[in-house]
Amino acid sequence: MSETITIKPVTRVEGHGKITIMVNDAGNVEDAKFHVTQFRGFEKLCEGRPFYEMPSLVERICGICPISHSLASAKACDAILGVRIPHVAVKLRRLLNCGEFIQSHALSFFHLSAPDLLLGFDSDPLKRNIFGLIESHPSIARDGVRLRAIGQEIIKSFAGKRIHPSWVVPGGVNQPFSEEKQQELIPLMAEAYDIVERTLAWFKASIENFREEIRTFSNFPTMFMGLVDSDGNLEHLEGKLRFTDSRGTIVKDDIEPFHYYEHIGESVESWSYLKSPYYLPLGYPDGIYRAGPAARLNVCNGCGTPRADQEWAEFRSLERGAVLSSFYNHYARLIEILYSIELAENLLNDPDILGNHVRAFAQPNHYDGVGVVEAPRGTLIHHYRVDKEGLITWANMIVATGNNNLAMNRGVLQAAKRFITDGKITESARNRIEGVIRAFDPCLSCSTHAINGKSPISIRLVGSDGTTLDEI
């Protein structure tokens, strides 16, 4: 008889989720779903709040990527004010974002994924964790801790604390940067370079050990989305949106952030609190696309910094078109760490960052504002509407993890069909199916809502004879 296999919880990810796998009478996998089981309702919480509170408020969505939310929010508020923020503030925001990328990607790669990469997907689950990594590869474990600490130190130096710093504000930032902190951070860049370069060396040398995972971890054609600058290079904070297809061809370019809704639709399913965005012209679910580290490297023409550009070229040579397997997100994270270090070093040596003009002041001049940034996990969109008093009347957020929801679901199905045989799931198969999700590094706390404020979870009361008695 048919049955459902449940993997609960999905381990080594941020937040709470589960996977259900439907197996038919013949023992073959027919379907699989990734469920996000937590609901937070941040959009509704924002309604009625003054817009200038938003960057600080939305930081509380997540303790791993609070900077990304504050930056996207502040950019939406900048648009409501109708101001051009001081160039010093732009550079300081960018530096802060570099710290976010370094610490977040280090957490994902070293703490959450490296146990699989170094101990093996088939290793003892009691050892396949950060503690097992410390025991078996202490130097690599120390590198991971130190690299994340460097990213956190960048954030603390600017914003005063590592988590929920409330330093980014509408119109810029709320405090200039000091020369003392500048001189403290500059020497850390050489140390960060050493760590990421030796990590890249051992990771690239080990890729051949994971050919089966590469073939089965969300390895299928989709579109890709990310921000690029005016030259088409990798961009995390400014720029415009670009969509490319699985061949690497640009489908749509130069999308102004404010017009995101003309190109991105949003859908919900009854089995998850996480929205399923899609490329609007292709409809749902055919408009599946991916965001995040590998997607960004697929859509851009290069990184724009010398060391990262060299690694980007090697990354893109993996495939003739776009790099499809989401296993390569691990590789892309290391390249983005390298890019962030290069960018941070350039900015730290820029005398402009010590300027005192860091905030533009104004009253609301528009009733609508959109902010788009690249969070470590993918493109993040904040959209607010305000009344004449500057109070939020409506808010919408498309979180980075949501952009990958359709791809994650299709990915767990692909892996389940490959690794589950005769209706039985082994520990090895379970870990690889979870590994599909870990490759995306989802931030499930950022699953902030259901569309239109309605719960997408259906509850059905079934009688002993199998008939539905009630449903909400």
Predicted pLDDT at 160: 79
User: What are the backbone dihedrals phi and psi of residue 46, each rounded to the nearest 5 degrees, phi first?
Assistant: -75, -25
Tell me: the pLDDT tens digits for 168-179?
999 999 999 999
42-451 CATH fold: Cytochrome-c3 Hydrogenase; chain B (1.10.645)
Report the SS3 class of residue 398: strand
The strand ranges marked E within 123-215 are: 168-169, 172-173
Report the share of the chain in percent with pLDDT over 90. Answer: 84
Residue 445 has pLDDT above 60, yes or no: yes
**Residue 117 CB-density burial (10 A; 0-12 exposed, 13-18 middle, 19+ buried):** buried
Cis peptide before 285 (omega within 30 of 0): yes
Rounded to 10 degrees, what is the CA torsion of 33, 34, 39, 40? Answer: -140
Locus of tokens 């009347």: 393
Confidence of residue 454 (pLDDT cuts 50, 70, 90): very low
Q: 78: left (phi > 0), else alpha (psi -120 to 50), else beta?
A: alpha
Distance separating alpha carbons of residues 330 and 437, to the nearest angstrom? 12
pLDDT 10s digits, 64-90: 889 999 999 999 999 999 999 999 999
AA identity, residue 163? I
Of 14-28, 240-254, 361-375, the least confident: 14-28
pLDDT in tens, 371-394: 999 999 999 999 999 999 999 999
Q: Which helix (H) or strand (E) holds 312?
A: helix 306-316
CB 334 within 8 Å of CB 264: no
Kindly report the pTM of this predicted structure: 0.94
DSSP per-residue codes, 340-401: HHHHHHHHHT-GGGG-S--B-------SEEEEEEEETTEEEEEEEEE-TTSBEEEEEEE-HH
- Is the pLDDT reported for residue 450 higher than 90? no
Tokens of 259: 């017009």
